């Protein structure tokens, strides 16, 4: 049972500068009351209206782009370590606001409080990563075939980076993009999810404070709240060379088409249909924890959530029984209460999709092992709380092939590892994957070129919970983008090859003779 609205302490809203009505348009130095209407943010926790956020009009969007373009002219000239110092201070401010911002993420989005804190920690971690990166941004020196010539590569900032984020990670994904883009010398325009607008206002308030203290030019960090129409302005704008978009495959295809038509660059983080392969030599205790968290964490609304469990036939019944027992112990309720395991779905529409998916499982020949359903009664008045479900299926069912953003776990059997890998790869999505085994040969086959075709392939951990040190993203219809760690910074910059002739003659490449 969850607490009533009266028992939820909302002081964190005041600490983050969240009012009942909020401006939704900002150039990093000033807030503007958008003329495009108002977004209302209702908490899935208790159904209450948290606040309203104004929406950007087309004219206000144009103003922001103009500010961004002007800011870029100055920001790109700041030494990268100086830009990194600003990001370091943002990280410190996030540390000071971690408690409040984590609570807002949990209350507005519905994920558990621990996951809310974890998301803010990801922001802090990417700030630390970006600070170190600001003293690197390495190019290459290349041996020239011509005498008395030096050839090298260097990297320059792109310009304006558009960031379109999704509701399920309302603050972290923006930070993965913006912190790296800023140390690279880019400026950012952020179009947040219309389902979690208050989180964006809170983040911009934090950034505005740090930017003001460091005399950062107005326009380096812009925010434009609104619906898909605002997103279309951004994706169709040839002045924005890179669009980083997180969301559904359907949305990603539209973004890719719009950006591609103007020969812009896209960084796409789209759907996942993630599987764990459980072999006879798996540690079953470890498997249970990894699977349950992966399947029910964030109420199944992570792009890396575990959707499919591919179990060897010799241990299938044992694993199934353990999972059914574990699901019977799950506590569903207010995510701000840390005794609960599962919070709500984001809204009523998500509940309808969840219910339709369970019906589709039955219609297509699957068998429900752990019944789902919508929670009702005291504490569940928002109508967004559902029961995590388990279904026994085959991999070829259409509902299994599709991603359902909800806590539904599909179980299926395999007999050989090759068959299991084929099943794991047999979907259009290619984000995250895992194998549970203590057998080195099974592990290496899973990680080989003939193994998982996903951007993330784990051994003895689940599909969910990536660290910022590694580049995050997936293949196939997941979009091919990479964010966060490793060398993901390169997508925010343009590569330039330079050749310097310091000799007295002008020899041509490939030995070409051209005499005058």
CB 118 within 8 Å of CB 169:
no
Q: Using the 8-state DSSP alphabet, how is residue 342 labeled?
A: B
Tell me how crowded residue 186 is: count the other CB atoms within 10 A of its CB.
Answer: 25
> Catalytic pick from 60, 93, 218, 269?
269
Alpha-carbon distance of 142 to 45, in angstroms, equals: 57
> Catalytic pick from 184, 199, 299, 303?
303
Query: Tokens in use for 90?
Result: 């943002």
Q: Residues 11, 17, 22, 25: is their CA dihedral positive or negative?
A: negative
Backbone dihedral angles phi then psi of residue 472, each to the nearest 5 degrees: -105, 130
269 labelled catalytic? yes
Tell me how crowded residue 114 is: count the other CB atoms within 10 A of its CB.
Answer: 13
User: Rounded to whole angstroms, what are the CA distances from 144 to 48, 149, 310, 499?
Assistant: 66, 6, 52, 8
Q: Checking phi first, is residue 404 left (phi over 0); if not, alpha (psi -120 to 50) or beta? A: beta
Range 350-357 contact pairs with CB under 8 angstroms and sequence separation of 24 or more: 350/301, 350/384, 350/405, 350/406, 351/383, 351/384, 351/386, 353/404, 353/405, 353/406, 354/386, 354/404, 354/406, 354/407, 354/408, 355/386, 357/399, 357/404, 357/406, 357/408
Which residues, including other chains, have CB under 8 Å from residue 439's CB and lie 6 or more apart? 279, 281
Tell me how crowded residue 37 is: count the other CB atoms within 10 A of its CB.
Answer: 13
CB 234 within 8 Å of CB 164:
yes
203 labelled catalytic? no
In order, the DSSP letters of 132-192 are HHTT----EEE--SSTTEEEEEEEEE-SEEEEE--SSSTTHHHHHHHHHHHHHT-EEEEE-
Query: Tokens in use for 159?
Result: 């310009």
Q: Using the 8-state DSSP alphabet, how is residue 7 labeled?
A: G
Catalytic site positions: 269, 303
């Amino acid at each position: 049972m969850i607490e009533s609205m009266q028992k939820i302490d909302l002081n964190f809203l005041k600490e983050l500068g969240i009012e009942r009505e909020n401006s939704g348009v900002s150039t990093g130095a000033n807030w503007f009351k958008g003329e495009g209407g108002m977004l209302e943010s209702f908490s899935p926790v208790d159904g209450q209206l948290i606040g309203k956020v104004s929406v950007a009009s087309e004219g206000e969007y144009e103003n922001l782009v103009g500010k961004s373009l002007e800011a870029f002219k100055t920001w790109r000239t700041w030494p990268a370590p100086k830009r990194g110092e600003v990001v370091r201070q943002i990280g410190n401010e996030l540390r000071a606001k971690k408690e409040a911002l984590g609570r807002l993420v949990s209350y507005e989005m519905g994920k558990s409080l621990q996951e809310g804190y974890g998301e803010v920690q990801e922001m802090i971690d990417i700030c630390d990563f970006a600070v170190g990166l600001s003293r690197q941004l390495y190019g290459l020196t290349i041996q020239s075939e011509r005498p008395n010539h030096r050839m090298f590569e260097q990297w320059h900032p792109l310009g304006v980076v558009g960031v379109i984020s999704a509701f399920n990670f309302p603050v972290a994904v923006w930070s993965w993009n913006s912190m790296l883009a800023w140390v690279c010398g880019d400026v950012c325009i952020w179009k947040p999810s219309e389902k979690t607008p208050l989180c964006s206002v809170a983040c911009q308030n934090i950034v505005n404070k740090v930017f003001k203290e460091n005399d950062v030019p107005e326009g380096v960090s812009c925010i434009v709240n609104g619906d898909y129409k605002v997103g279309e302005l951004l994706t169709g704008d040839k002045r924005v060379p890179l669009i980083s978009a997180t969301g559904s495959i359907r949305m990603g295809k539209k973004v890719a088409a719009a950006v591609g038509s103007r020969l812009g660059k896209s960084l796409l983080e789209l759907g996942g249909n993630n599987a764990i392969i459980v072999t006879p030599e798996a540690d079953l205790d470890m498997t249970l924890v990894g699977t349950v968290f992966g399947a029910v964490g964030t109420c199944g609304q992570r792009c890396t959530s575990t959707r499919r469990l591919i179990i060897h036939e010799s241990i299938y019944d044992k694993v199934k029984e353990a999972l059914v027992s574990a699901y019977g112990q799950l506590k569903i309720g207010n995510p701000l209460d840390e005794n609960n395991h599962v919070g709500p779905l984001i809204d009523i529409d998500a509940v309808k999709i969840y219910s339709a998916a369970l019906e589709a499982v039955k219609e297509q020949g699957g068998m429900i092992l752990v019944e789902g359903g919508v929670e009702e009664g005291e504490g569940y008045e928002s109508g967004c709380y559902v029961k995590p479900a388990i279904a026994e299926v085959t991999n070829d069912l259409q509902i299994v092939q599709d991603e359902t953003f909800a806590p539904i776990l599909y179980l299926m059997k395999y007999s050989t590892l090759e068959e299991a890998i084929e099943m794991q790869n047999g979907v259009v999505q290619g984000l995250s994957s895992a194998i549970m085994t203590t057998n080195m040969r099974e592990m290496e086959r899973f990680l080989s070129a003939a193994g998982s075709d996903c951007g993330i392939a784990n051994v003895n951990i689940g599909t969910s919970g990536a660290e910022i040190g590694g580049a995050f993203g997936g293949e196939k219809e997941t979009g091919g983008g990479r964010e966060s760690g490793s060398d993901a910074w390169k997508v925010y910059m343009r590569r330039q090859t330079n050749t310097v002739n310091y000799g007295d003659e002008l020899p041509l490449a490939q030995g070409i003779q051209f005499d005058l």
